[in-house]
Amino acid sequence: MFNKFVASLLPLFPKKFIWIFSKRYIAGETLDDALRVSKELNQEGVKVTLDVLGEFISSLDEAEKNKQEYLHVMKRMTEEKIDGNFSVKPSSFGLLIDEETCYRHIRELVARAASYDNFVRIDMEDSSCVDREIKLYKRLHAEFPQHVGLVFQAYMRRTFTDIEELTPLHSENKPLNFRLCKGIYVEPATIAYKDHDEINRYYLKDLEYILQHGFYVGIATHDPFLIEQAYQLLEKYHVPPTRYEFQMLYGVTPERRKSVVEKGHAMRVYVPFGKDWFGYSTRRLKENPKMTSYIIKALFNKK
Ligand SMILES: Cc1cc2nc3c(=O)[nH]c(=O)nc-3n(C[C@H](O)[C@H](O)[C@H](O)COP(=O)(O)OP(=O)(O)OC[C@H]3O[C@@H](n4cnc5c(N)ncnc54)[C@H](O)[C@@H]3O)c2cc1C
């Protein structure tokens, strides 16, 4: 309770102070930091997906700048032969300002990724973005079926139906490709499940449906129960390694990550980097309020 209260005050803490805890979740402020971390992860047999930090923007000039930054990231990743792909948040490309401009920017990124035989994952943002992000995915999947994917959040009441509705778009040559996560934004109970066990039940229902229908899936979770259940479903449906991977966030449960890799499953780590690290890290800290006890201890212990 106390930790939750402190977590809600996090945005008021001095930035420098939050950084002490954030650096665990962020590769660094620069692309060189992200490339270094990615190489280290590749050496552990783990692939990456790079995320340039930054979300909801207020002008379309920022969208253009963000696109240029991603194009540069793609070029460097390819030159450095990093085993990784790219995750994008459509709100950083103007999704809520001008959908068509956002589509054109992300289309350019997916086309560039396709020219490198690479892949762009569209992150799922809060509920104001869900319809638009599904629409964006459908358009891009029609043109670049092997090079673009979407995220679904198990906590949204609509998710199972959304996945069912996309099913007719799936075929051997045009595979649907989803990352399945629990969902991170604060949503009202009218549209999102709130109870931990209920979210897990729907996560497994969505996952089973995805595996039964042969879509590619990124099983994005650190939850040991879900990981264990996912192993069982993979076995039950004889899912080949070409159709799934596990995914975790940089800095979260590295030991659990190692144990999944040691069992022979493909693993991809989401590596965020960039100057806009503050929003991302306060969300991670709020998600895990136990972390705030470390903050409080450090406040009084300057050694
Ligand atoms: C690769 C990846 C991509 C994601 N993309 C999106 C997205 O596009 N949209 C979206 O809404 N959400 C996204 N998420 C976030 C996701 O929705 C969850 O909020 C987050 O993964 C925590 O859920 P969990 O499944 O790990 O389960 P939880 O029940 O939250 O956690 C399970 C266990 O994992 C450990 N753990 C979890 N979080 C932390 C933490 N911050 N610090 C330390 N330990 C922790 C703890 O041991 C905890 O008990 C993504 C997550 C991953 C892994």
Percent of the residues in the chain that have a pLDDT greater than 70, as a whole number: 90
Q: For residue 205, is pLDDT > 90?
A: yes
Average pLDDT value for residue range 157-171: 98
Task: Using the atom order of ligand 1, give the atom closest to the CA of residue 248.
Answer: 53
CB of 286 closer than 6 angstroms to any ligand 1 atom = no
Residue from 49, 158, 223, 246 whose mutation best tests the ligand 1 pocket (most atoms within 8 A of CB): 223
Q: For residue 216, is pLDDT > 50?
A: yes
Average pLDDT value for residue range 275-291: 73
Among 112, 179, 268, 284, the one annotated catalytic: 179
Q: For residue 301, is pLDDT > 50?
A: no
Go through the domains of the chain in sequence order and give each one's CATH number: 27-273 (3.20.20.220)
Average pLDDT value for residue range 214-224: 98
Helix-strand-coil percent breakdown of the chain, rounded to 5?
A: 55, 15, 30
56: confidence class by pLDDT, cuts 50, 70, 90: confident
**Torsion from C-alpha of 163, 184, 140, 219, nearest 10 degrees:** -60
pLDDT at 279: 74
Residue 179 appears among annotated catalytic residues: yes
Q: For residue 238, is pLDDT > 50?
A: yes
Q: For residue 220, is pLDDT > 90?
A: yes
CB of 88 closer than 6 angstroms to any ligand 1 atom = no
**Taking CA 104 as the corner, what is the angle to CA 71 and CA 247, rounded to the nearest 5 degrees?**
55
Question: Which is nearest to 189 in space by CA: 154, 152, 155, 153?
Answer: 155
Spatial distance between the Cα atoms of 202 and 227, rounded to a whole number of angstroms: 14
Percent of the residues in the chain that have a pLDDT greater than 90, as a whole number: 79
Q: Whose CA is nearest to atom 10 of ligand 1?
A: 183
Q: Whose CA is nearest to atom 17 of ligand 1?
A: 183
Q: For residue 231, is pLDDT > 70?
A: yes
